[in-house]
């Protein structure tokens, strides 16, 4: 005989039982779904359970407490979290609960429809979980369940790094983007009293940054679902507060993070990974990039005045910043290329710069290794500084400070093993950026604006293909996305009729006199 249980308002002993699978947690389902009818099954045991449940319901009608006041291992609290177990949309005639601990959530089913009995079992599982951890708990209470605890974020990153299929700097950039998304998506925050920007004592794992990364890496890769990443993306964009400029910037940022992070899951990398059970679907599968609008650079600089100001303000007072300015604006070098450019790469006779890979300099693409032609005047300006330089690099990284009456000097050495963006000439870049901001360049990366300005000038005067070759882009599409091809300026020439000497037309006939000819043309 079938026995139906009619739900009553929520209290410790009577919680509405949902008729669909729990999408989040038992407590949310119980609170959101209206009263429903649940068929427990057949048999005398089911009838007895129904009577016991009805008796329990009557005793609990006077409940007036708050669920939040109950401890996490209180039976009544767990009764509220129960919901009917289903499989493929079919009810199984048993109760279930989801338990979350240390960033992992798992469903447990009970061979009973008695809410109090199921809650007691749930409390036992939860206590065992807090004491012994997930692996032991699953082995005891779900021995036939395939464990999904094989792969953490840290495990996967270590495996990819060990493949050595990515350059170290590229890998670190991708890993930082993946961890940033994971931290913001899963709500990972630094320990109280620590900062994720504290890199001190990083070698022994005691820095605030090291602890924060360890917390991120402990999360399971399966938790980084497409739904969570999409929600993170929308939340980031929503912070723009309806500002079109801020929204466009936020969209570019999330697109950049997603592109870099999902580059760790390319078919070429996955094909080489051995002995890892990856989640299905993979992270970022189905995550779409945002439409970020036009990214074309619009020139706002008076280059002639800026060059004159740099020569007047920087050449004598800050020669290192002046050299950075010349290399950025006249040669279009990237920041890392300026930082690690060596004197031997300068061909003064041919007025050219021969970029090449070195022990320290890792060029962005294969096309970045090329000869760059510069104006003879620029080559002559750089040559003036060569005789007085004691460094093999064009930009000196010496730092000088005073201790009492004594003056001390330290040289920032190049590094190719840093987990962060590192520039030996960082103090010089900071000074130049400050000077450029004082001249009205408000972009986030003032030094890079010099390269953009050069690209815009070449694209306007010589076309997009010339700009692509000079900037050493590996794809003409990259140049086209950022620079307008303004070689041929379109001008209809109607402005001449705005002059005072133009006589006004009178009457409809005179205004339409030339219309047929115009239409025919």
Q: What is the mean pLDDT of residues 505-521?
A: 47
Of 276, 247, 250, 248, the residue nearest 264 (C-alpha): 276
pLDDT at residue 327 in the model: 94
The answer to whether 81 and 97 are in contact (CB under 8 A) is yes
Reported as a pLDDT band with limits 50, 70 and 90, residue 513 is: very low
State the DSSP H helix or E strand holding residue 247, giving kind and residue range, or none if neither.
helix 244-262
Asked if residues 59 and 8 have their Cβ atoms less than 8 Å apart, the reply is no
Superfamily designation of domain 303-482 = Intergrase catalytic core (1.10.443.10)
For residue 385 the two structure tokens come to 């500084």
| pLDDT tens-digit series, residues 418-462 | 767 788 999 999 999 999 999 998 888 899 999 988 888 888 888
First CA to last CA across the chain, in angstroms?
88
Average pLDDT (321-339) is: 92
Region 373-390: mean pLDDT is 90
Determine which of 31-40, 412-421, 453-462 has the lowest per-residue pLDDT on average: 31-40
pTM across the whole model: 0.59
- pLDDT beyond 60 at 4: no
Q: Please, are residues 458 and 466 in contact by the beta-carbon 8 Å criterion?
A: yes
Q: pLDDT (tens digit, 9 = 90+) per residue, 154-206? A: 999 999 999 988 888 889 889 999 999 999 999 888 888 888 877 775 455 57
Q: Which residue has the tokens 């036939």?
A: 144
Give the phi and the psi of residue 67 in degrees, each rounded to 5.
-60, -35
Residue 43 has pLDDT above 70, yes or no: no
Residue 317 DSSP symbol: T
**Whole-number pLDDT of residue 50:** 46
Most confident of the following: 53-57, 209-213, 321-325, 486-490: 321-325
In the predicted model, is pLDDT for residue 484 greater than 90?
no
Minimum mean pLDDT range among 51-60, 299-308, 346-355 = 51-60
pLDDT-based confidence at 492, cuts 50/70/90?
A: low
> Is pLDDT of 143 > 70?
yes
Where are the domains positioned within the chain?
4-141, 153-272, 303-482
Beta carbons of 30 and 115 less than 8 angstroms apart: no
Residues of the chain with pLDDT > 70: what percent? 74
Alpha helices (H) along 285-403:
303-313, 319-329, 335-339, 376-386
- pLDDT value at 417 more than 60: yes
Average pLDDT on 245-252 reads 86
Residue 244 and residue 250: Cα distance in Å, rounded?
Answer: 10
Q: Nearest to residue 254, comparing CAs of 361, 180, 318, 193?
A: 180
Compare 43 and 352 and report the one with higher pLDDT. 352
């Amino acid at each position: 005989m079938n026995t139906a249980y009619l739900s009553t308002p929520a209290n410790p002993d009577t919680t509405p039982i949902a008729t669909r699978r729990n999408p989040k947690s038992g407590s949310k389902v119980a609170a959101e779904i209206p009263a429903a009818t649940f068929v427990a099954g057949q048999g005398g045991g089911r009838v007895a359970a129904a009577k016991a449940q009805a008796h329990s319901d009557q005793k609990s009608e006077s409940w007036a407490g708050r669920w939040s006041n109950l401890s996490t291992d209180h039976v009544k609290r767990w009764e509220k979290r129960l919901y009917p177990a289903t499989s493929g949309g079919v009810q199984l005639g048993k109760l279930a609960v989801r338990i979350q601990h240390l960033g992992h959530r798992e469903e447990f089913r009970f061979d009973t429809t008695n809410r109090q009995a199921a809650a007691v079992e749930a409390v036992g599982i939860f206590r065992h979980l807090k004491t012994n951890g997930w692996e032991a708990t699953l082995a005891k209470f779900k021995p036939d369940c395939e464990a999904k605890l094989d792969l953490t974020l840290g495990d996967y990153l270590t495996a990819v790094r060990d493949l050595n299929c990515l350059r170290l700097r590229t890998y670190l950039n991708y890993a930082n983007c993946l961890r940033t998304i994971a931290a913001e998506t899963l709500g990972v925050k630094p320990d109280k009293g620590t900062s994720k920007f504290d890199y001190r004592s990083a070698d022994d794992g005691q820095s605030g940054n090291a602890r924060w990364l360890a917390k991120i890496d402990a999360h399971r890769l399966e938790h980084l679902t497409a739904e969570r990443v999409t929600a993170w993306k929308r939340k980031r964009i929503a912070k723009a507060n309806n500002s079109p400029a801020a929204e466009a910037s936020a969209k570019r940022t999330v697109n950049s993070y997603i592109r870099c992070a999902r580059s760790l899951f390319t078919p070429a990398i996955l094909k080489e990974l051995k002995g890892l059970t990856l989640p299905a679907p993979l992270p970022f599968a189905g995550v779409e990039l945002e439409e970020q609008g036009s990214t074309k650079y619009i020139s706002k600089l008076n280059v002639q005045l800026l060059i004159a100001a740099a020569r007047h303000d920087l050449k004598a007072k800050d020669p290192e910043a002046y050299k950075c300015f010349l290399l950025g604006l006249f040669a279009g070098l990237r920041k890392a290329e300026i930082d690690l450019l060596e004197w031997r790469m300068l061909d003064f006779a041919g007025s050219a710069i021969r970029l090449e890979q070195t022990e320290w300099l890792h060029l962005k693409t294969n096309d970045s290794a090329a000869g760059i032609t510069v104006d003879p005047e620029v080559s002559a300006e750089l040559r003036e500084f060569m005789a007085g330089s004691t460094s093999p690099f064009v930009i000196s990284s010496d730092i000088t400070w005073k201790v009492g009456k004594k003056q001390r000097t330290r040289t920032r050495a190049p590094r190719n093993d840093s987990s962060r963006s590192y520039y030996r000439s960082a103090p010089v870049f900071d000074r130049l950026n400050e000077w450029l901001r004082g001249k009205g360049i408000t972009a986030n990366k003032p030094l890079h604006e010099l390269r953009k300005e050069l690209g815009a000038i070449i694209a306007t005067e010589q076309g997009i293909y010339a700009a692509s070759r000079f900037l050493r882009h590996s794809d003409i599409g990259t140049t086209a996305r950022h620079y307008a091809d303004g070689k041929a300026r379109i001008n209809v020439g109607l402005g001449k009729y705005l002059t005072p000497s133009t006589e006004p037309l009178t009457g409809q006939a005179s205004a339409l006199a030339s219309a047929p000819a115009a239409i025919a043309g």
